[in-house]
Structure 1
Amino acid sequence: MNVLLIYLNHLLEMGGLKDVKLGRGCPSICHLLFAHDLYVFGQRKKVSVIGLVIMATLFLHELKYYLTTYTVHQMSVDLKRGETLPIHINMTFPSLPCDVLSVDAIDMSGKHEVDLDTNIWKLRINQNGDIIGTEYISDLVEKEHTAHKHDGDKEHHESEKAHTHSFDQDAENMIKNVKQAMARGEGCRVFGILDVQRVAGNFHISVHGLNIFVAQQIFEGSSHVNVSHMIHDLSFGPKYPGIHNPLDGTVRILRDTSGTFKYYIKIVPTEYRYLSKDVLPTNQFSVTEYFVPMNEYDRTWPAVYFLYDLSPITVTIKEERRSFLHFITRLCAVLGGTFALTGMLDRWMYRLLESFTKSSSRSILR
């Protein structure tokens, strides 16, 4: 009898009813039936709880899937004409002071824009990358490129002045200031927006704005111009969800050499249509990089070129959401399948426990 009570109490504990204890006052058969039912109930209860947890998890997953939007891509011929192309730039030149850097833009028609009617700023930075001053680039470019706005007689006059090395006081002060800045390890951060014509062209950041003799006095040759740079951001329009600009985060550091970096960019006009029907016109692009080393005999000066061309195809990206009927159909399929599977497991467990308890009770009663 003691063995039977021990076995029955063990069944109760396995069924999750540890607080229920059987004593000698209950007949053995009654004990057996009661313990068997409680044990089976406890095991089947676990299956039901697991099934409910699975159904709740799948419900939340389906709800998230329904609420999440997806995008559809379409392509068509680009019909835009006469619009401008915004170019967002944010770059750092750790080895060149702001006084020597200029931003130029040239399109395929041959138009050369030096003093661009845009917002371009330059920040002076020290060796640690901390900002130590601000300068608006248009003032410097206008000053350094005055020689580009002349007729033939003035060009001849400027040539004579250059050959006689008759530098004025401003040029001498500039040479002195730039050399001091370079000795301190001063760099420059250039950022802003260029608005150019919507045709193929290029823009570049270089020391081309300097008079060639001033540049020679500062750098003592083109091979000593270090155009190491970091591209924090380069885009051709506002950003939309999921956009990837391949040049963001690009770092190019030159140690014992100099040269010209050329980035060949293919721009793809893009329209992003939000779920709210708002349309965001922008551009994507792909890029190929090329580096041309410089030697002491080259007559050109190092620079960072961005040569761009536009694709004739427009990509339209549309946000869409799945239909509510689709959500209900998937939800019924998932929950119904889980319910059916849980019921099948419950029946299998009941039969397994039934056969196990019957064989155990027979061996004890003998």
Structure 2
Amino acid sequence: MLSISKLKNFDAYPKTVDDFRIKTYTGAIVSIVSSIFILWLFFSQVNLYLSTDIHHELFVDTTRGEKLKINMDVVFHHLPCAYLSLDAMDVSGEHQFDVAHNIFKKRLSSTGSPIIESPPIREDEINKKAVVNNDASATCGSCWGAEDENIKCCNTCDDVRNAYSKRGWGIADPSTISQCLREGFTKNLIEQNGEGCQVYGFILVNKVAGNFHFAPGKSFQRHHMHVHDLQPFKGSFNLSHTINRLSFGNDFPGIRNPLDEVTKTELVGAGMFQYFIKVVPTIYEGLNGNRIATNQYSVTEHYRLLQAKKGDEPTGLPGLFFMYDLSPIMMKVGEKGKTFSSFLTSVCAIVGGVFTVAGIFDSFIYHTSKNLQKKIDLGKTH
């Protein structure tokens, strides 16, 4: 019993007698205001506890031997699909001419609506069907003077164009080539005149500096130079375009691609649109521990007029060029949330702090009003 009675000496919260407590209207107002203030701060802390913070870290990129995935969705408002080719090249010397794998083209009318409602077919599948059909009907087609030791037969229009490109020639009039006539190459150029084209899909490139571009004409390598054969196409090229999407790698929450929804209009002649892109390798780590290896990028742009008037010879290759370079610095974007212990600490600090400050304020008001009342009673207010 003695030890229990001594336990009261450790009470840090001594109780006062209720008979000596004085309740005032100002105290009630201060109590109500402080309670509302405590509730507001409490719910703000709950909101902060449920939300996540984004933290950024920078370190040297040590990854090697990876491929870079480039996702694209570009609409050319006044350039037909039959005119367009996509090429990619990098500083390692790898060139991809007229990329068709995982790339789709959709014909658009002059108003921008799709002409063919059925799902588009990949270009490489179309080429395979053309080769099969022509192999069945012809054993060895003529290359129209472009034969050599390696190329003996040309059964498709592409075979003839490739044979010509290896010799550095261009096909001035595809209608004179029986393979092109059979496959409707000239017919497609005439039918699609005035149309637009949507090109979408993705390409895989080496993780080094390089470029990819959309340009009219068949591309080939000549004397270590990248050349496009523009002879079959008459007139000027309008490169007005809208980039619906351009990204490097997978998306993650909060990512922003600067070129998404960018529209450029060409009012005079034909020109070269150039986008210089700085790719920053990025790792995104969520609260659940999932990691996404992707990339962010910044961009600057430049436009160069090549053909001022219709009929003039262009002083360069009109097209849409994307030159990209990779940063040696990798960014880590991580989600972090508050722990429950920090949430409890904040709540206790809010309740205790507001209660203490409100008590000091109420005590000040009470004693001030009490002293003022004493002076009024003694007639010392004047």
CA drift at 1:191? 0.9
Instruction: Provide the rounded CA distance (Å) in 1 between the counterparts of 2:341 and 2:27.
Output: 34
Matching residue's letter, 2:204: D
Q: Who is 1:202 aligned against? A: 211
Matching residue's letter, 2:211: N
Question: Greater share of helix residues, 1 or 2?
Answer: 1
Q: Who is 1:255 aligned against? A: 267
Give the alignment's TM-score, normalised by structure 1.
0.74
Q: Who is 2:141 aligned against? A: none
Q: Who is 1:77 aligned against? A: 60
User: 1:360–1:80: structure 2 CA closer, same or farther, 3 Å change rule?
Assistant: same
Instruction: Provide the rounded CA distance (Å) in 2 between the counterparts of 1:298 and 1:128.
Output: 27
Q: Who is 2:176 aligned against? A: 166
* SS of the residue 1:81 aligns to: coil
Greater alpha carbon shift after TM alignment, 295-304 vs 170-179: 170-179
Does the Cα contact within 8 Å between 1:78 and 1:313 map onto a contact in 2? yes
Q: Who is 1:331 aligned against? A: 347
CA drift at 1:336? 1.9
Does the Cα contact within 8 Å between 1:114 and 1:141 map onto a contact in 2? no
Question: Mind listing any 5+ residue stretches in structure 2 that lack a counterpart?
Answer: 1-21, 129-155, 221-226
Q: Who is 1:97 aligned against? A: 80
* SS of the residue 1:129 aligns to: coil
Instruction: Provide the rounded CA distance (Å) in 2 between the counterparts of 1:145 and 1:317.
Output: 46
User: 1:353–1:161: structure 2 CA closer, same or farther, 3 Å change rule?
Assistant: closer
Instruction: Provide the rounded CA distance (Å) in 2 between the counterparts of 1:326 and 1:58.
Output: 15
Instruction: Provide the rounded CA distance (Å) in 2 between the counterparts of 1:118 and 1:358.
Output: 94
Give the alignment's TM-score, normalised by structure 2.
0.71
User: 1:359–1:176: structure 2 CA closer, same or farther, 3 Å change rule?
Assistant: farther
Q: In the alignment, which of 242, 266, 273 is matched to residue 230 of structure 1?
A: 242
Matched, 1:285 2:271: no
Does the Cα contact within 8 Å between 2:218 and 2:230 map onto a contact in 1? no
Does the Cα contact within 8 Å between 1:102 and 1:137 map onto a contact in 2? no
Does the Cα contact within 8 Å between 1:107 and 1:200 map onto a contact in 2? yes
Instruction: Provide the rounded CA distance (Å) in 2 between the counterparts of 1:333 and 1:116.
Output: 63
Matching residue's letter, 1:68: S
CA drift at 1:123? 1.7
Deviations 1:245-272 (CA, angstroms, capped at 9, x unpaired): 1111211111123201111111111111
Does the Cα contact within 8 Å between 1:76 and 1:313 map onto a contact in 2? yes
User: 1:360–1:122: structure 2 CA closer, same or farther, 3 Å change rule?
Assistant: farther
Does the Cα contact within 8 Å between 1:86 and 1:237 map onto a contact in 2? yes
Instruction: Provide the rounded CA distance (Å) in 2 between the counterparts of 1:108 and 1:140.
Output: 31
CA drift at 1:126? 2.3
CA drift at 1:76? 2.4
Q: Who is 2:288 aligned against? A: 276
Q: What are the equivalent positions in structure 2 for 1:114-193 lying under 5 Å apart? A: 114-116=97-99, 118-133=101-116, 134-138=120-124, 145-147=158-160, 149-150=162-163, 155-156=166-167, 159=169, 162=172, 166-168=176-178, 170=180, 173-183=184-194, 186-193=195-202
Instruction: Provide the rounded CA distance (Å) in 2 between the counterparts of 1:114 and 1:148.
Output: 13
CA drift at 1:122? 1.4
Instruction: Provide the rounded CA distance (Å) in 2 between the counterparts of 1:46 and 1:282.
Output: 56
CA drift at 1:149? 4.7
Share of identical aligned residues, percent? 33
Deviations 1:42-90 (CA, angstroms, capped at 9, x unpaired): x543432222221111011112222322233222222222211100001
Instruction: Provide the rounded CA distance (Å) in 1 between the counterparts of 2:127 and 2:375.
Output: 98
Instruction: Provide the rounded CA distance (Å) in 2 between the counterparts of 1:144 and 1:75.
Output: 51
Q: Who is 1:57 aligned against? A: 40
User: 1:314–1:160: structure 2 CA closer, same or farther, 3 Å change rule?
Assistant: closer
* SS of the residue 1:128 aligns to: coil
CA drift at 1:359? 10
Instruction: Provide the rounded CA distance (Å) in 1 between the counterparts of 2:350 and 2:73.
Output: 50
* SS of the residue 2:115 aligns to: strand
Instruction: Provide the rounded CA distance (Å) in 2 between the counterparts of 1:217 and 1:164.
Output: 6
Instruction: Provide the rounded CA distance (Å) in 2 between the counterparts of 1:112 and 1:213.
Output: 14
Matching residue's letter, 2:327: S
Matching residue's letter, 1:269: P
Instruction: Provide the rounded CA distance (Å) in 2 between the counterparts of 1:126 and 1:60.
Output: 54
Deviations 1:147-199 (CA, angstroms, capped at 9, x unpaired): 5654x9x844x84965898344735944444344334xx21111111111112
Does the Cα contact within 8 Å between 2:104 and 2:199 map onto a contact in 1? yes
Larger Cα-atom Rg: 1
